[in-house]
A = this chain, B = another copy of it.
Amino acid sequence: MPPVSISADSHPAVSSPAARFESEVILSNIREVARLAGVSVATVSRTLKSPERVLPETRDKVNAAVEQAGYRPNLMAVQFRSRRTGNLVILVPTIANTFFARVISGAQQAAQTAGYRVLLCDTQGREDIEREFAELVHNHQADGVIQLRAFDPFAEPCHNLEPAPIVNACEVIQGGRHPTISLDNRAAAKAMTEHLIGLGHRRIGLIKGPKSSPLTRDRVAGYQDALQAAGITCDPALICHGDFTLQAGHDGAAALLALSERPTALFCENDEMAIGALKRIKEQGLRVPEDISLVGFDDIPFAAYCDPPLTTIAQPAEVFGQKAVEMLIALIEKKPLAERHVVLPFELALRGSTAAVKHEK
């Protein structure tokens, strides 16, 4: 029995078995096109994939039929058959972060150029959600994963599953098994702290990120490196925790400004917290930079629009995304990786929020 008999009316597939048994209407498929063009399905497939292997006349016939049928290849079938989705998963701790937005933009660009698509997943930094989305690879919904946080969603080895292509960018796992793209956070924090020390600051407050973040660990280390190199004892009271939000910066500043021996400069581990801190400083009736210098990290667009404009550390955010995609695609396509651990350059963006320390008393 021939499996499918396609009628010749204007709405061919509507009355096909598929349409009868499945809820959705199949409006045209490769068989329909083949019939219209008077060729085999194989020829249609070839015309679409490698036209050079088909006679020009045949090609024209097929293309006309494609047009006539309004044919769109069912990518679900294509991918199923060819075991390749063209999807890249990006795990973002939070989309509501201007820095990540730039990273994603760079990734999107690179993916599009390479013929891949980006599936963005806002994981809220939750490991369960990260694992779930990373599963998309094992489920054959995506070809690889880019993780922007220091957590390996494939940490628990799924015994006999093929290792999934994954690249770790921005906040990277220490000594991890996966390729990374990172900033030398330690050097950057050191450079910024040196800038403050150079302005005469000795009591420099630090508002950190969450304890668990290696990115924070590195930045703290850089801060301490600089202090040590300048012979300044690190006062633990000057360091407080935050979570990269505006509110955290506000709260952190409140705590540091309440110290009996107030810091003369404040280093926030990201710009959001610096902007939060700025508000608190002003609420206290203090001026930036006259009374207290303030610096951030990331150089988000708002940084330059603060009052005063925020001195911060500029990262090539888009490049993170771009590099991550390029490396991931190499991994997927099993091409050699030039480097497994890329370190991107930073730049101090010196603006108006820092000044020489005021001689008190």
Q: Is the CB of A108 within 8 A of B122?
A: yes
CB neighbours (8 Å) of A278 from chain B are: 305, 307
Instruction: State how many copies of this chain the complex holds.
Output: 2
B residues less than 8 Å from A23 (CB atoms) = 83
What is the CA–CA distance of A97 and B101 in the complex, to the nearest angstrom? 8
Complex interface bits, A59-76 against B, C-beta within 8 A gives 1, otherwise 0: 000000000011011111
In the complex, identify which listed stretch (A135-143, A179-187, A201-209, A256-264) lies at the interface while the others stay far away.
Answer: A135-143
A74 to B83, CA, bound (A): 10
- The one of B28, B76, B83, B275 that contacts A79, using a Cβ cutoff of 8 Å: B76
A22 within 8 A of B: yes
Taking the closest CB of chain B, its distance from the CB of A186, in whole angstroms, is 28
A138 to B282, CA, bound (A): 54
Q: Answer yes or no: A119 CB below 8 A from chain B CBs.
A: yes
Contact of A58 with B by CB under 8 A: no
Tell me, yes or no, whether A155 is within 8 Å of chain B by CB. no
- Is A246 part of the binding interface, using a Cβ–Cβ cutoff of 8 Å? yes
Q: Taking the complex as formed, is A80 at the interface, i.e. its CB lies under 8 A from any CB of chain B?
A: yes
The segment from A47-55, A144-152, A156-164, A216-224 that touches chain B is A156-164
Q: A246 near B301 (CB under 8 angstroms)? A: yes
The distance in angstroms between the C-alpha atoms of A117 and B129, with both chains bound, is 11
A105 on the interface (CB 8 Å rule)? yes
> Is A77 among interface residues, defined by CB-CB distance under 8 A?
yes
Q: List, sorted by A's number, 28 A–B pairs whose CB atoms are closer than 8 Å.
A: A24-B162, A25-B162, A27-B161, A69-B160, A70-B161, A72-B135, A72-B139, A74-B80, A74-B139, A74-B140, A76-B76, A76-B83, A76-B140, A76-B141, A95-B95, A96-B101, A96-B102, A96-B105, A96-B301, A104-B122, A105-B122, A117-B133, A119-B120, A246-B301, A246-B305, A278-B307, A279-B307, A302-B302
Q: Which 5 A-B pairs have the closest CB atoms?
A: A120-B120, A96-B101, A75-B139, A76-B140, A80-B80
